[in-house]
Amino acid sequence: MLDCTGRDPAFGAGGASLDVPGRVQRHLRVKQRERGFDEATYVESFLVLNAARGDCLEDFDQLREDAGLGEVLGHAVPSAEAARKFLYQFHDPEKIAQAQQELAPGRVSYIPEESAPLRGLARVNEEVVQELGRRCAEQKIATIDLDATVIESWKREAQFTYAGCAGYQPVLALWAEMDAVVADEFRDGNVPASQELLPVVQRAFQALP
């Protein structure tokens, strides 16, 4: 995701200028203990991992070996195990059980309601998109590119996709002109790409400036 200067706000000053850490502190609460990294540090670390083209949690351990990265960020990045525990706090088994109970006869795929932490993270992204729109007021066109992507996975919980592999099929709504994600929805691999897209589209338009 680029700002109007063409920089990637995931790194250093870009993320700080968009106040990503402050927005996370206001909208995201998952940690139950004071020790260790806070939510803002975890989120910023995941942005850095993504920008560095990391594709698994174990890549955090490689980033931790780069002393210069910690100096640029102003903090270390979490270990792979700490990052895994942080992610699991976004999981709400009650939401999944509820979606299974409400499953219509003959249907096998379902989309659980998002947990409170996921909604908080979505609110952070909405505010970042709003700030990008404020800075780039000359951009008067917003084309929403909606797409589902199959991501292969070897987790026991992963469902089989139409591509024949087990994995997940998240949906992204992209503001094409700004190359910015405005809405998303994580889905099991067996959920058809065309299933219940209207709520994602509505969230996408709601997030636009």
Residue 68 is which amino acid? G
User: From CA 18, how far away is CA 35, in angstroms rounded?
Assistant: 26
- Is the CB of residue 182 less than 8 Å from the CB of residue 125? yes
Q: How confident is the model at residue 200 (pLDDT cuts 50, 70, 90)?
A: very high
Q: What pLDDT is stored for residue 8 in this prediction?
A: 47
pLDDT of residue 202: 96
Q: Could you tell me which residues are beta bridge partners of residue 145? A: 174
Longest dimension (CA), the chain: 56
Rounded CA-CA distance 179/175 in Å is: 6
Query: At 184, phi and psi to the nearest 5?
Result: -155, 165
Residue, of 31 and 8, whose pLDDT is higher: 31
Residue 138: per-residue pLDDT: 95
- In sequence order, which residues have a C-beta less than 8 Å from that of residue 32 and are 6 or more positions away? none
Taking the C-alpha atoms of residue 181 and residue 193, their distance in angstroms, rounded to an integer, is 18
- For 142, the token pair is 């917003």
What's the pLDDT at 15?
A: 59
Burial class of 207 by CB neighbour count within 10 A (0 to 12, 13 to 18, 19+): buried
Q: What is the pLDDT of residues 121-180, one digit of tens each?
A: 999 999 999 999 999 999 999 999 999 999 999 999 999 999 999 999 999 999 999 999
Query: Would you say how long the chain is, in residues?
Result: 209
Closest CA to 169 of 145, 185, 146: 185
Q: What is the CA radius of gyration of the chain?
A: 18
For 111-128, what is the mean pLDDT?
A: 95
Q: How confident is the model at residue 4 (pLDDT cuts 50, 70, 90)?
A: low
Over 90: is that where the pLDDT of 188 sits? yes
- pLDDT averaged over the chain? 89
Task: Please name the residue that has the structure tokens 């806070």.
Answer: 38
Contacts of 7 (CB under 8 A, 6+ apart): 14
Decide: 77 and 59 in contact? Cβ < 8 Å: no
- SS3 for 174? strand
What's the mean pLDDT in 5-31? 70
